[in-house]
Structure 1
Amino acid sequence: MTATAAPATASAPPPVPRLARRPVGVVAGLVAAAHLAVAWIPGWWFDEALMLAIGRHHLDWGSVDQPPVAPLLAAATDLLAPGNVLVLRLPAIAATTAGVVLAALIARELGGDARAQTLTAVAQATGIWTAISGHWLTPYTLEPVTWLALGWLLVRWWRVREDRLLLALGVVVGVGAQTKFQVLLLAAVLLLAVAALGPRELLRRPHLWTGAGLAAAIAAPTLVWQALHGWPQLRMGPVVASEAGALYGGRLGVAVGLLGSAGVLGLPLVLHGLLRLLRDARLRDLRYLGVTAIVLYAVFVVTVGRPYYLVGLYGVLGAVGAVGLQHRREAGHGRRRRAAWPAGVLAAAAAVPFLALSVPVAAPTVGAEVAAATTQAYEALPPAQRAHTGVMAGSYIYAAFLDVHAAAGTLPPAVSSNRSYGWFPPPSDDVHAVLYVGADADELRPWFADVRPVGHVGDAGDPGARLWLATGRLVSWESFWPSLRHLDVG
């Protein structure tokens, strides 16, 4: 019988089963192949378009609602293969695949045999949100692998008590903070849970606080950017909550989505793992992981966050659940060996439609239509006027689409008062007119002598993407641009 790995003694850490290289490798390979199979299809998810637009035109240590890692990767891939959607998505696919391996490694650290490791890998691979977004280059696709790496380091430290792991922990938190800010909340809740439940020995390790210093040093540039720009990220919470009703069905939808996103196989493993962390005496020193998950779930429901905010913890909890099933099997309470395969097949089959759904979702024709219509209207302007006319969008989504869909050299970089674009520099004062894309151009009327409609986007005349021409700017851009900035998309 294989017991759950126990904390190390002063002499030697407890052994772990061999890594299930072949089955875990097959699962990871299938995940990579599945996402590669759809990643080459032209079209950007609008958040990918934003990452690429920031990477091309506004790369900095931060922006309003995300740190710089995703835009930096977008810029690097675009430099290697300009406009190539498959190359752009390779870092996301690599992160998703690495998450599958890390989840299996967590199961191994807990004493999981080849079956438990493989079951954990399949659960991680077939999560609903993972299937949908696992190939999109966005902060929320890159974030789970940092949470899983953090979980693996914590579980491994619990087993071997090797304090150098705590330095690596700090590096992971710092890189995670440069990817998406939620990791700072995760780290804070973890520390509080350890202080309340133990192992308090962890808090007495100097390497932990040295690691915290490393995390702070790595995260400092993007935090300084936020401070210099008035901490716009802190204002995103109410904006996210206001969007939840239309996107997810409000607080109830978020509460259900935070669980359902784990997938057909992942959800029962996550719930079983959570129960084991709270009740199994052998896991007493890991109980803080379960409490952290519960606290974060409550926070994200109360604040009406996004349904994918807990994706990075599914692999940790699922690994605990898979090893728990292994113990039941070894004690004679489990089913035959063949019983696990139908669950894996069912989970994979359930994930396939969500993988397929990502294709039409990420390739909206409106992006190309907006760019084509705006380019046509811009080129129709007299050359003398066109030289002093900028392009602006009411939504950051349209602005990003303009920046990535328009052919090189046909349009100037887009501006917008919305989200990240609102905190980018405004046009220079030699821009006297604006070709504007949006449902209306009311935000410009106080600042321009004339604002009139000049067309619409698409044959159906999408009311959210009409074209306007604002001429006769009355005051300098710097004088009124800060008053236009806003975070709501609507």
Structure 2
Amino acid sequence: MQTTAAPAPPPTLADTVHRFARLPVLAIAGVVAIAHLVAAGLGRGYWFDELLMLVLGRDHLDWGSADQPPLAPLLAALMDAIAPGSILALRIPAVLATAAAVVVAALIARELGGDRRAQVLTAGAQATGLWATLAGHWLTPYTLEPVQWLLLCWLLVRWVRTRDDRLLLGVGVVAGIAAETKFQVLLLCAVLVLSVLACGPRELLRRPLLWAAAGIGALLAAPTLIWQALHDWPQLRMGPVVVAESEALYGGRWGVAVLMLVGAGLAGLVLSLYGVVRLLRAGELRPYRFLGVTAVAMYVLFVVITGRPYYLDGLYGLLAAAGAVGMQRRREARRGAGTGEPSTRTWSLSWVAWPGFTASALLAGVLLVGAPMLVAPEVPEGIVAKTAAAFRELTPEQQRRTAVFGQSYIYAAYVDGYRERHGLPPAYSGNRSYGYFPPPSDDIDAVLFLGSDPEGLRPHFTDLRRVGDVGEDAGLWLATGRNGSWSAVWPQLRTLSVG
């Protein structure tokens, strides 16, 4: 008896993989790279987080620090070794990461079935994201992180389509490197696993190479996690600090909720919101639903815990890709899937898409031009110059016995970033990463304190007097007569809060 084969399942949007839109996507990425290189080279000085990366890498490179894994400091040290003192050279890795994120976002759109237009729309959305525009040329962990998250998403999307388990090994490598950049990727991976359990494809969790990848990722992340464990997990104690800073800087939970959306940019926000809807509801994207659930869960988590507005920056490109493919689906429905005759009555979004992208690009351009204005080199230089002037007022013998101490890591990083120009010794601080550096030697019995509140020093020194001002909110105090060993004093000066 002749049997008939079961009918093939209907094709889905991701069954057809279009050619990579190499020329337009690489052109957009090239424009992004050039624009950020120009912004990076305007010569307005370091962003304060860049100074911390430079100090960590150049002077205190280790497997970890209080709130920073070692990758960004390592890159800062390498670039400074290649071109000492060059801000432009220091920022090249950040610029490359920002431009690469544009390409990876477009590749995600391609894997989801996106045609040339969808890939270009996705690339444009990633290129004009407001947070990426603002910080895309600063060498910081939060600038390196987005391309890593997007690579992770691209590998997973491609695995869903191809079932090529070798891709899962790449997931492990990328996740491990991302953990050496910022710790939020550990939360992302946990949420991804839970989303796969809830939505599928559960087959992913039965693949041996996935667990081999987990081992690779754990092995790569182990050095910085071991450092954290040996130092009593300071990163876990950063939670209340982040909440307090978010309250002061961003307006608390609701401010973070709004800024996390705004950070996607004008075009990115529209495409991302549409992309979430498509990932959660579109039948042809059912295998990728776990990514939509992950994005929503991460947004809710970061709002609930009052994180920072840039925490979601690595998922905008994925969501924009799903939204751009959704717009493509509408076009195909209007055209009868290529027949040229309308088959479904749907509203065309083309009349708003390109003007919207033009507005988004203009807004990003204005922000990129204005971003260097946020870095006012005369402020840290002026602070360090006034600190140096006060230090020179001391006798040569007193100078040999006095350490410069910043109340916050920002002040200490200012001093370390510019100290060679002003003849100052290395700075110390009890704040954040500085608090886990070695204390001064015991022949140092005095401190030139830079900050706003020196009361934390009073129990440890017999005399504390003001010797100068460095700005509206900060002054200089000289603390003399240390009354305990540094090994006893240093842990009491250690703090994670900047304020």
User: What interval of TM-score do these two structures reach, taking the shorter chain for normalisation?
Assistant: over 0.9
The alpha-carbon deviation at position 339 of structure 1 amounts to 5.6
> Which residue of 462, 467, 487 maps to 2:476?
467
Q: Which moved more, 1:56-65 or 1:370-379?
A: 370-379
SS at the partner of 1:407? helix
Query: Is structure 2 residue 480 aligned with structure 1 residue 478?
Result: no
What's the counterpart of residue 348 of structure 1? 361
Larger radius of gyration: 2
Q: Which moved more, 1:429-438 or 1:178-187?
A: 429-438
Distance 2:476 2:184 in 1: 37
> Matches of residues 285-434 of structure 1 in structure 2 within 5 Å?
285-332=287-334, 333=346, 335=348, 340-407=353-420, 410-434=423-447
> Which residue of 224, 241, 251 maps to 1:222?
224
The alpha-carbon deviation at position 401 of structure 1 amounts to 0.6
Distance 2:464 2:275 in 1: 60
Distance 1:114 1:334 in 2: 21
SS at the partner of 1:87? helix
> Which AA in structure 2 matches 1:397?
I
What's the counterpart of residue 132 of structure 2? 130
Contact kept? 1:241, 1:305, Cα under 8 Å: yes
The alpha-carbon deviation at position 146 of structure 1 amounts to 0.5
What's the counterpart of residue 6 of structure 2? none
Query: Is structure 2 residue 458 aligned with structure 1 residue 445?
Result: yes
Contact kept? 1:432, 1:472, Cα under 8 Å: yes
Contact kept? 1:39, 1:85, Cα under 8 Å: yes
SS at the partner of 2:315? helix
> Which residue of 435, 445, 449 maps to 1:436?
449
Contact kept? 2:331, 2:348, Cα under 8 Å: yes
The alpha-carbon deviation at position 362 of structure 1 amounts to 2.4
What's the counterpart of residue 169 of structure 1? 171
> Matches of residues 32-43 of structure 1 in structure 2 within 5 Å?
32-42=33-43, 43=45
Query: Is structure 2 residue 81 aligned with structure 1 residue 79?
Result: yes
> Which AA in structure 2 matches 1:303?
I
What's the counterpart of residue 17 of structure 1? 18
Query: Is structure 2 residue 129 aligned with structure 1 residue 116?
Result: no
> Matches of residues 95-106 of structure 1 in structure 2 within 5 Å?
95-106=97-108
> Which AA in structure 2 matches 1:470?
A
Distance 2:448 2:25 in 1: 53
What's the counterpart of residue 10 of structure 1? none
SS at the partner of 2:264? coil
What's the counterpart of residue 241 of structure 1? 243
> Which AA in structure 1 matches 2:404?
V
Distance 2:176 2:237 in 1: 22
Cα gap change, 1:369 to 1:382, in 2 (>3 Å): same
Distance 2:459 2:152 in 1: 51
> Matches of residues 46-65 of structure 1 in structure 2 within 5 Å?
46-65=48-67
SS at the partner of 2:309? coil
Q: Which moved more, 1:442-451 or 1:185-194?
A: 442-451
Contact kept? 1:3, 1:111, Cα under 8 Å: no
The alpha-carbon deviation at position 336 of structure 1 amounts to 8.3
> Which AA in structure 2 matches 1:450?
D
Distance 2:331 2:105 in 1: 21
Contact kept? 1:5, 1:159, Cα under 8 Å: no
Distance 1:71 1:41 in 2: 22
Contact kept? 1:390, 1:414, Cα under 8 Å: yes
> Which residue of 450, 468, 475 maps to 1:455?
468
> Which AA in structure 2 matches 1:403?
D
Kindly report structure 1 stretches of 4+ aligned residues shifted beyond 3 Å: 2-6, 333-340
Q: Which moved more, 1:405-414 or 1:22-31?
A: 405-414
Compute the TM-score of the two structures, normalised by the length of structure 2: 0.93
Cα RMSD for the two superposed structures: 1.5
Contact kept? 2:66, 2:433, Cα under 8 Å: yes
Distance 1:102 1:306 in 2: 24
Q: Aligned residue pairs: how many?
A: 478
What's the counterpart of residue 178 of structure 1? 180
SS at the partner of 1:391? strand
The alpha-carbon deviation at position 331 of structure 1 amounts to 1.1
Q: Which moved more, 1:164-173 or 1:435-444?
A: 435-444
SS at the partner of 2:420? coil
The alpha-carbon deviation at position 353 of structure 1 amounts to 2.2
% identity of equivalent residues? 60
Gaps spanning 5+ residues in structure 2: where?
1-9, 335-345
Distance 1:423 1:466 in 2: 24
Distance 1:369 1:394 in 2: 17
What's the counterpart of residue 7 of structure 2? none
What's the counterpart of residue 343 of structure 2? none
Gaps spanning 5+ residues in structure 1: where?
7-13
Contact kept? 1:57, 1:413, Cα under 8 Å: no
Contact kept? 2:327, 2:349, Cα under 8 Å: no
